[in-house]
Amino acid sequence: MSECRRCVELSFPVPWGIIAAKAWGDPCLPPVLMVHGIQDNAGTFDRLMPMLPDMFYYVCIDLPGHGKSNRFPKGVFLNFMLYLSSIRRVVQQLHWVKYHYIGHSLGGQLGTYYASFYPDEVTKLIILDTLAPTTLDIGNYIRKSKKQIEEIIELENKLLNSNSKPNYTYEEAIRRVVNGRKAPISIGAAEVLAARSLKKNNKNFYYFSTDQRLKFGVPPLVTSETHLNIIQNIQCPMLLIITHIYLEFVKSTDHSSAYDTYKLLQTKNNVQIVQVTGQHDVHNDNPEVVAPHINEFLLKIKSLL
């Protein structure tokens, strides 16, 4: 694992602008696609990268509306398929035929669906601290859908009528990143995220470029049964690295699709499950905790694809 692995910025044209990415290593090496969680960006893997094997080419994308990537157009309701198709656009432009996939949180959820949709392409799948997106609750679908529609339109109107973005000093912005999640992260972990999501105005203050519509999530709009069928279709070797905290949360709440996913994955011969100590962003906060498991899986586990 090299501290001086070369990193370059990439840009992929899409109908609404560009999808940005950071690429690490030699593009002639076997490729690995890396996808971050919601309201994060490609910087989430910066602190993990020096600990990963040198014999791969890593491309870490900024999902639309994150980091340096353009947002989806105004008026568009964000959804899971928009983000899945964005990943597909990047892969097609890279001209990859076979590749590994590493995803954290939303990036991991997208990865499970992507590997299921393209089983002949994804050769290994590594999921960091997630099990399932929020699936359709049939009994509350009408109420929840109505609420989401009203919230999004209200946010759009608020942004349309606002003359300025919230501005912060750099220190204030970093504190917001540190504390703006379920569990605080370190300043170092916050700074690699802020490097891609903070922009400076003409008064030497900073604002966040992240799409505010992401506050409402990007659910896939499928039932729990359909979700489990999708997970069942994952054929490549899969490594799930899950924190004790998240697993206990899943077991103790009514997020049944996540726990059902966990129970299903336990029965699949192609799946390894590793529990680690740490918070949801342990791959960024304490990358040394997850790196050995990722490295062993990348280097020693064989794929039949």
CA distances from 208 to 58, 176, 212 (A): 26, 10, 9
Q: ∠ CA(301), CA(44), CA(50), 5° rounding?
A: 55
Q: What's the confidence (pLDDT) of residue 183?
A: 87
Mean predicted confidence (pLDDT) in 27-31: 97
Mean pLDDT of 111-130: 98
Active-site residue flag, 105: yes
Least confident of 11-20, 155-164, 180-189, 200-209: 155-164
| SS3 label, residue 153 | helix
With pLDDT > 70 as the criterion, what percentage of the chain qualifies? 97
- pTM (two decimals): 0.95
Question: 10 Å Cβ neighbour count for 252?
Answer: 9
Q: pLDDT-derived band of residue 6, with 50, 70 and 90 as boundaries?
A: confident
* pLDDT band at 255; cut points 50, 70, 90: low
* pLDDT score recorded for residue 229: 97
Q: Which CATH number fits domain 7-135+210-300: 3.30.1370.60, 3.90.850.10, 3.40.50.1820, 3.40.430.10?
A: 3.40.50.1820
Which carries the bigger pLDDT value, residue 251 or residue 255? 251
Q: pLDDT at position 4, please?
A: 58
Interatomic CA distance for residues 123 and 69, integer angstroms: 26
Closest to 194 (Cα-Cα) out of 182, 205, 179, 208: 208
Q: How far apart are CA 277 and CA 267, in angstroms?
A: 23
pLDDT tens track for 64-107:
999 999 999 999 999 999 999 999 999 999 999 999 999 999 99
Name the E strands within the chain: 7-14, 17-24, 31-35, 57-61, 99-104, 122-128, 198-200, 206-208, 238-243, 271-276
What's the mean pLDDT in 31-39? 98
Task: Taking residues 210-221, report their average pLDDT.
Answer: 90
Report pLDDT digits (tens) over 268-299. 999 999 999 999 999 999 999 999 999 999 99
Q: What is the predicted pLDDT for the residue at 138?
A: 82
Name the residue ranges covered by the structural domains of the chain: 7-135+210-300
Answer whether 80's CB lies under 8 Å from 133's CB.
Answer: yes
The strand pair at 17-24 and 238-243 is best described as: unpaired
Active-site residue (options: 86, 105, 209, 224)? 105
pLDDT at 220: 83
Give Cβ neighbours of residue 217 (< 8 Å, ≥ 6 apart). Answer: 38, 134
Cβ count within 10 A of residue 41: 28
Cα 305–chain centre separation = 24
pLDDT attached to residue 244: 96
Residue 18 in tokens: 């560009």
Residue 305 reports pLDDT greater than 70: no
pLDDT at 102: 99
pLDDT at 3: 55
More confident site: 183 or 175: 175
